[in-house]
Structure 1
């Protein structure tokens, strides 16, 4: 496939949970029918289905995933999800700053143990008892040890990697943005940091990440800002400045454009334990965004 014929996919920003080296969340097709369009990200993902059935695509290969099974997605591996009935899954995303190793999702005798560790992590996340972060990390490193010892693809099979040189360069740049998201980072500054001209870097984001540079940076900032709204009593202005937005007015305007709701309203709903209602708003907003990409 020539460079002109190469398919491009949306690059998704993944921000770990606060104080933890991973991101863990529940995936649910709320109305029974949901499509997560093809995308990629620089992390290893384990998608474990608790209920229902989904069609999971790795590249062009389709896997029918039943309840009680999981699939492993490697860094920068293109994947998508199609659901047609009620389903619920646990998703664990492990950021990978460097391509050190890759993993196979082929059936193994350790599958039951890995699924059980994911369930255990999920239960602890829901309870959030005092010191739960320590327990979560303890379970996570058990899971990571199992992943490395039982599912790692040997070095001699490195040709398995489906990425490309441009994806590798973009991964280094997005890693930098995830680390410095709260700073004032212009396209020109970022380009100079990595030795590119701004025009070429902007084109790289659009062509190989299928996302605008500003939109990618904002998606990281929004991930952190949402967490501040949920977990702290900081003012909207403080949250805006802490997460790289110029002021509260700009933050509120961009927040409403993305989620269809003001951050003050979201903060109020969180206090009223109305997060489920907002989840639907977020899914609809993301679906709308995907339709424009």
Structure 2
């Protein structure tokens, strides 16, 4: 199976992640991947081509698509586009599961829903503008979207084969969820394997087969994602950020950060602060 598991980290202080699609400049391909979160793409400008399992869904401005948990998909952005993406962790729907850790929405049958598209655009604008009281407005729009999803889009009749397919990937998703909850700890491979009743070798093979990455690298990816978020959103020292996110030392964190982003954390923070000051002046 040639697809990867995608790590999703919610926006700071919110139970979801909202952002503009990274392929907005066009000439971009996101290869086959999956995640446990429910994902909605709303195209505001341009177009995208979605591939869900073996089916193709071209999207143009004003259309959106819902990607279900554990649904394998890829995206081709041939031309420039402006697309809002909302990712909702599966646990947000746990009161509405139709089977154990299973919920499904009509994701491809209703590409045009003006109310949903309007709410997604509004959610992104309110969140990104961050005017006074935006936290309350943002969360209220999010819950309106959740209400529409469970009321109008939720599929109440499920097929056993769909549930079985989802469970093939669910085992690893439970482990990665556990890792995200405990990433600040030492979290040895042997300890995680024992927690879930696997041998070290079996868990290692599971990561290579389904996530296309080794356990250690995946754990570092989680730690780095949270550390990067702290760098953007807090004034904590580099040393504190490193220790808060499971790194053994600030030196080790800085070296790993530079390998990934081409800058030291201190240099990245300086750029962020200078950009913030410029925007404030403008």
What TM-score, normalized to structure 2?
0.89
Q: Does structure 2 conserve the Cα–Cα contact (< 8 Å) formed by 1:77 and 1:162?
A: no
CA distance in 2, matches of 1:221, 1:272: 26
Gaps of 5+ in 1: 1-6, 275-293
Q: Does structure 2 conserve the Cα–Cα contact (< 8 Å) formed by 1:110 and 1:150?
A: no
TM-superposed deviation, 1:163: 2.8
Q: Counterpart in 2 of 1:25?
A: 19
What TM-score, normalized to structure 1?
0.86
TM-superposed deviation, 1:110: 7.8
Q: Does structure 2 conserve the Cα–Cα contact (< 8 Å) formed by 1:28 and 1:87?
A: no
Gaps of 5+ in 2: 92-99, 277-282
Q: Does structure 1 conserve the Cα–Cα contact (< 8 Å) formed by 2:11 and 2:17?
A: yes
CA distance in 2, matches of 1:109, 1:224: 33
Q: What is the alpha-carbon root mean square deviation over aligned residues?
A: 1.9
CA distance in 2, matches of 1:157, 1:190: 32
Residue number among 12, 16, 19 corresponding to 2:10 in the alignment: 16
Query: Over residues 5-32 of structure 1, what are the superposed CA-to-partner deviations in whole Å (9 max), with x where a residue is unaligned?
Result: xx14211111111111101111143542
Please, which moves more after superposition, 85-94 or 30-39?
30-39
Query: Over residues 245-286 of structure 1, what are the superposed CA-to-partner deviations in whole Å (9 max), with x where a residue is unaligned?
Result: 111111111111222221111111111228xxxxxxxxxxxx
3-state SS, counterpart of residue 179 of structure 1:
helix
Q: Counterpart in 1 of 2:253?
A: 251
3-state SS, counterpart of residue 21 of structure 2:
strand
Query: Over residues 208-249 of structure 1, what are the superposed CA-to-partner deviations in whole Å (9 max), with x where a residue is unaligned?
Result: 222211222222222211111111111111111111111111
CA distance in 2, matches of 1:110, 1:69: 5
Please, which moves more after superposition, 252-261 or 163-172?
163-172
Does the alignment pair 1:76 with 2:78? no
Q: Does structure 2 conserve the Cα–Cα contact (< 8 Å) formed by 1:166 and 1:208?
A: no
Does the alignment pair 1:38 with 2:28? no
Query: Over residues 21-48 of structure 1, what are the superposed CA-to-partner deviations in whole Å (9 max), with x where a residue is unaligned?
Result: 1011111435421111111111100011
Q: Does structure 2 conserve the Cα–Cα contact (< 8 Å) formed by 1:17 and 1:24?
A: yes
3-state SS, counterpart of residue 165 of structure 2:
coil
